[in-house]
């Protein structure tokens, strides 16, 4: 093993953190060790409740009134910060250790200009003059590639976009040249293509400023792109640490392996390599088991070895860099054995089209009541939420609609469900035109036949009604059963179907975990034997291991019932895994559609290409070309006249893109691209993804060589 020659910036030893509540002391983090060297970036990865953010807050010693460090030490440049006085602590915060937050909008003070908030940092920590503080702040805004720094300095946070806000937060953190930067899920609240720009910036910081980083994330792909080392946390403990390369290719803890099995890597496939969910649930902090915390969910658990004594971190022998695991049996486990049951499903042959969308438009009228607008006759503006959508979905097929916020996918779902009516065009569902019939006017069978699974587990269920009551209501409403006993029996069978215990019947939503609530949501959608289910980001709010379970459940039911699934998502890795066909939308229009294979291989629409490139991939054997989009997402109120993607397109041809709608290029029966670029040129584009083995380029952060363009600012 080699020791890192660089001096350690942060050394955390045997750190224990507890929260003190009415129920007593609740340990949040136990026996945590971490060393970060200058210029190094370490990823802290785990699911919600694993204690990763608590560690970051402890480094800042900001644990709230009921949290406290109960053991161990946190040494920053050799000084134990657990013993600093309030004044010493204040001088350290923001000058030597700085933080970047999850929601940039919330992290900036809405009542102060950005300039005032930035200038504060040098004014407080270095007592410089106002003028110098201004100059430095302005320079830092330019360094984080924000266009027009003077304007941004004078602006209030709500006047700039989310991506720009995050750049401001990063600038604020870097202003006093901190030795350590803590990043708490810095891109979770951003759109994928915006995220790519921020990640590129973060990756540059370490090189440019020599700042050590602790990068907190639930996303293994992001950690792979930004970090040198990784520390996987589970239930308040570090379970595995090591370099990205070691941990990603030779993981030595069953939880780490479980995580990788649960995320849709490019190699996963719904038919022959399905995702494997980690069984069970994360234990609550006061209900942790004795011995190995992961024991109850681990297939290798052996009483006496994995408990009741606490498991220590141990070195994995034979590695070049330090690699540790908290598994008592890691030497005995066959790490190459396939994970899970490895069930193989036959691909389904799709049947007749169930849904045909033809030239559907949805415009919203927006009344501008200002006198000026009325005089100039522009009192009514149209928001083109959906512009000439045409596609179909066949029986038992999974069609994914992919796009970022504002792309119109939710509006389309509303029209389909009859909550809105279309402005033009037709939507044919099982032979009936439904585009202008509101849900209350639709026949009951039709309503039952077209149901929806919602995004947010916390408000998909009515908190005041029991689980059974909510499912039962659907059954009665759709007239599936009317006799109370039969309704009851059917609810029970639906609970069985979504693999929930029958005694959940009388439970209320707040007694359920997020994944369980989504299962109830699935049961409710399938209560009326639907022919088609729309799933609007059904798993995006769930933890990784739960995502896999709910995704698999949804697909299993869909497969069994031959249901058509319209899967709305922004996450291309999930979509690649489960969809048969993909529709890519941008600003209300379809940019590209085709089978999954076709969309993921050239020819690409330039937007699809950028979107694919923006997806973080947690597989060290796959690399990708980096394409970072410039500019902001245009407002739907004022979309570009020609191609909607024209303002950000790295392959823009010229004036034609600005003035004319792009033609639809037909690549195959199923594959269509709306672009001015000739098909031949698009076909000649290199694939976004390539296998590392083929090109021989090394794995690791920033390995992508073909970086085209950079974020000059959104």
Partner 1 sequence: MVASTEAAVPLPRRQSALARFLKSVALLRESPVGMVGAGIVIAWALAAILAPLISPFDPNSTILPFQKPGAIDPTTGKVFWLGTDKIGRDILSRIIYGGRRVLIYGPIATACAYAVGIVMGLAAGYFRGWWDSILSRVSDIVLSFPIFVLYVIVISTFGASGLNIVLAIIFASAPGIMRIVRGLTLDLRNRDYVAAAQTRGESPLYIMFVEILPNARGPLIVDACLRLGYVTITIGTLGFLGLGLPPPDPDWGGMVNENRALAPAFPHMIVYPCLAISSLVLGLNLLADGLREISIRD
Partner 2 sequence: MLIFLAKRLGYLVFTMLVVSILVFLVLELDPGNVAQKVLGPYSNDEQRQIWMEANGYLDPLPVRYARWLGDFMIGDFGMSTRFKVPVSEILLPRLGNTALLGLGVLLVMVPLALLLGVLSGMKEGSVQDRTISVFSIATTSVPEFASGVFLVGIFVLWLGWLPGVSNMVGGFDIAQMVLPVAALVMYGFGYITRMTRASMAEVMQTHYIRTAVLKGVPQRQVIMKHALRNALIAPFTVIMLQINWLLSGVIVIEYLFAYKGFGSLLLEAALNKDIFVIEACTMVAVLVAVGTQTLADIGYMYLNPRIRFS
SS (H, E, C) 180-207: EEEEECCCCCCCHHHHHHHHHHHHHHHH
For the CB of residue 572, give the shortest distance to partner 1 in the complex, in Å.
24
Stretch that binds partner 2, among 117-125, 424-432, 505-513, 626-634 (CB under 8 A): 117-125
Among 448, 498, 612, 615, binds partner 1 (CB under 8 A): 448
Among 263, 306, 461, 584, binds partner 1 (CB under 8 A): 461
Up-side HSE of residue 370: CA atoms within 13 Å toward CB?
5
Number of residues forming the site for partner 2 (CB under 8 A): 31
Cβ proximity to partner 2, 53 vs 388, nearer residue = 53
Among 101, 412, 526, 600, binds partner 2 (CB under 8 A): 101
Any idea which residue has 């698999």 for tokens? 552
Cβ proximity to partner 1, 85 vs 440, nearer residue = 440
Cβ proximity to partner 2, 97 vs 262, nearer residue = 97
* 432 contacts partner 1 (rule: CB under 8 A): no
* 120 contacts partner 2 (rule: CB under 8 A): yes
Q: Among residue numbers 56 through 95, which ones bind partner 2 (CB under 8 A)?
A: 60, 62, 65, 90-95
CA pair distance 171, 594, nearest whole angstrom: 41
* 493 contacts partner 1 (rule: CB under 8 A): yes
Give, in order, the Cα–Cα distances in Å from 361 to each of 355, 374, 383, 412.
16, 26, 11, 9
Among 131, 440, 638, 668, binds partner 1 (CB under 8 A): 440
Among 121, 160, 170, 572, binds partner 2 (CB under 8 A): 121
Cβ proximity to partner 1, 156 vs 505, nearer residue = 505
For the CB of residue 62, give the shortest distance to partner 2 in the complex, in Å.
6
Positive or negative: CA dihedral 43, 46, 51, 57: positive
For the CB of residue 123, give the shortest distance to partner 1 in the complex, in Å.
36
CA pair distance 55, 39, nearest whole angstrom: 20
Cβ proximity to partner 2, 125 vs 297, nearer residue = 125
CB contact burial 413-448 (16+ within 10 A = b; e otherwise): bbbbbbebebbebebbbbeeebbeeeeeebeeebbb
CA pair distance 76, 9, nearest whole angstrom: 6
Q: In terms of residues, how long is the chain?
A: 714
CA angle 95, 101, 102 (to 5 degrees): 175
Cβ proximity to partner 2, 165 vs 613, nearer residue = 165
* 112 contacts partner 2 (rule: CB under 8 A): yes
Q: Read off the tokens for 602.
A: 């050239």
Question: What mask of x and - would describe binding to partner 2 in positions 344 to 373, judged by CB under 8 A?
Answer: --------------------------xx--
* 149 contacts partner 1 (rule: CB under 8 A): no
CB contact burial 19-56 (16+ within 10 A = b; e otherwise): beeeeeebbbbbbbebbbbbbbbbbbbbbebbbbbbbb
Any idea which residue has 């011995």 for tokens? 291
For the CB of residue 478, give the shortest distance to partner 1 in the complex, in Å.
7
* 304 contacts partner 1 (rule: CB under 8 A): no
Cβ proximity to partner 1, 11 vs 481, nearer residue = 481
Among 125, 138, 648, 671, binds partner 2 (CB under 8 A): 125
The answer to whether the CB of 231 falls within 8 A of the CB of 217 is no
- Estimate the share of the chain in helix, then strand, then coil, as percent rounded to the nearest 5: 35, 25, 45
* 164 contacts partner 2 (rule: CB under 8 A): no
Strand 180-184, strand 212-217: pairing: parallel
Among 48, 109, 159, 462, binds partner 1 (CB under 8 A): 462
Strand 41-45, strand 229-234: pairing: parallel
- Chain residues binding partner 2 by CB under 8 A are 60, 62, 65, 90-95, 98-99, 101, 103, 106-112, 120-121, 124-125, 156, 158-159, 169, 172, 370-371
- Chain residues binding partner 1 by CB under 8 A are 22, 417-419, 439-440, 442, 444, 447-448, 451-452, 454-456, 459-466, 470, 474, 477-478, 485, 488-489, 492-493, 496, 502-503, 505-506, 521, 524, 528
């Amino acid at each position: 093993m080699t020791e890192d020659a660089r001096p350690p910036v942060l050394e955390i030893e045997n750190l224990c953190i507890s929260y003190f509540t009415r129920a007593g002391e609740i340990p949040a983090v136990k026996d945590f060790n971490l060393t970060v060297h200058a210029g190094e970036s370490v990823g802290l990865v785990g699911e919600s409740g694993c204690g990763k953010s608590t560690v970051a807050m402890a480094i800042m010693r900001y644990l709230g009134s009921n949290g406290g460090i109960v053991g161990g030490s946190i040494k920053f440049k050799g000084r134990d910060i657990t013993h600093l006085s309030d004044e010493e602590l204040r001088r350290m915060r923001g000058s030597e250790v700085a933080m970047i937050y999850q929601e940039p909008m919330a992290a900036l003070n809405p009542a102060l200009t950005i300039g005032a908030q930035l200038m504060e940092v040098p004014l407080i920590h270095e007592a410089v003059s106002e003028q110098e503080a201004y100059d430095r702040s302005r320079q830092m805004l330019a360094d984080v590639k924000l266009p027009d720094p003077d304007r941004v300095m004078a602006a209030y946070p709500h006047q700039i976009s989310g991506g720009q806000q995050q750049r401001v937060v990063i600038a604020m953190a870097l202003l006093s040249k901190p030795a350590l930067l803590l990043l708490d899920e810095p891109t979770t609240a951003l759109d994928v293509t915006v995220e790519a720009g921020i990640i590129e910036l973060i990756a540059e910081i370490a090189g440019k400023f020599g700042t050590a980083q602790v990068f907190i994330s639930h996303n293994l792909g992001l950690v792979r792109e930004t970090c040198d080392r990784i520390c996987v946390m589970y239930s308040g403990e570090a379970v595995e640490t090591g370099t990205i390369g070691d941990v990603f290719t030779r993981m030595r803890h069953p939880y780490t392996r479980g995580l990788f099995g649960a995320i849709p890597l490019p190699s996963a496939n719904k038919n022959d390599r399905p995702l494997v969910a980690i069984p069970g649930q994360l234990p609550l902090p006061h209900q942790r088991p004795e011995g190995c915390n992961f024991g109850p969910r681990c297939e290798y658990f052996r009483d006496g070895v994995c408990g009741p004594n606490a498991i220590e971190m141990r070195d994995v022998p034979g590695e070049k860099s330090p690699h540790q695991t908290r598994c008592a049996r890691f030497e005995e486990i066959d790490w190459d054995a396939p994970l899970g049951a490895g069930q193989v499903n036959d691909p389904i042959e799709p049947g007749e089209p169930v849904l045909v969308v033809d030239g559907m438009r949805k415009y919203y009228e927006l009344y501008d009541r200002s006198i000026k607008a009325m005089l100039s006759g522009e009192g009514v503006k149209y928001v083109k939420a959906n512009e000439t959508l045409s596609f179909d979905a066949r029986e038992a097929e999974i069609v994914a609609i992919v796009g970022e916020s504002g792309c119109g996918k939710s509006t389309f779902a509303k029209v389909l469900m009859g909550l809105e009516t279309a402005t033009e065009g037709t939507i044919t569902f099982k032979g009936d035109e439904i585009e202008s019939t509101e849900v209350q006017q639709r026949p009951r069978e039709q309503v039952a036949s077209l149901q929806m699974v919602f995004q947010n587990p916390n408000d998909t269920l009515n908190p005041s009604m029991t689980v059974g009551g909510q499912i039962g209501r659907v059954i009665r409403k759709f007239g599936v059963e009317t006799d109370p006993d039969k309704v009851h029996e059917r609810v029970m069978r639906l609970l069985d179907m979504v693999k929930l215990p029958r005694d959940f019947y009388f439970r209320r939503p707040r007694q359920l975990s997020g994944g369980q609530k989504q299962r109830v949501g699935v049961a409710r959608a399938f209560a009326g034997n639907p022919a088609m289910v729309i799933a609007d980001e059904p798993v995006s709010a769930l933890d990784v291991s739960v995502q896999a379970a709910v995704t698999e459940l949804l697909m299993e039911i869909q497969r069994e019932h031959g249901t058509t699934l319209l899967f709305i998502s922004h996450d291309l890795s999930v979509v690649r895994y489960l969809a048969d066909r993909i529709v890519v939308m941008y600003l209300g229009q379809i940019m590209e559609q085709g089978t999954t294979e076709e969309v993921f291989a050239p020819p690409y629409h330039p937007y699809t290409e950028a979107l694919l490139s923006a997806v973080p991939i947690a597989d060290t054997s796959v690399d990708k070309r980096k394409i970072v989009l410039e500019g902001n997402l245009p407002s739907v109120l004022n979309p570009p006249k020609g191609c909607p993607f024209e303002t950000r397109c790295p392959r823009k041809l010229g004036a034609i893109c600005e003035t004319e709608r792009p033609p639809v290029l037909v690549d195959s029966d199923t594959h269509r691209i709306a672009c001015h670029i000739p098909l031949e040129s698009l076909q000649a584009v290199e694939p976004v993804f390539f296998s590392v083995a083929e090109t021989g380029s090394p794995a690791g952060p920033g390995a992508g060589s073909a970086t085209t363009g950079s974020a000059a600012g959104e």
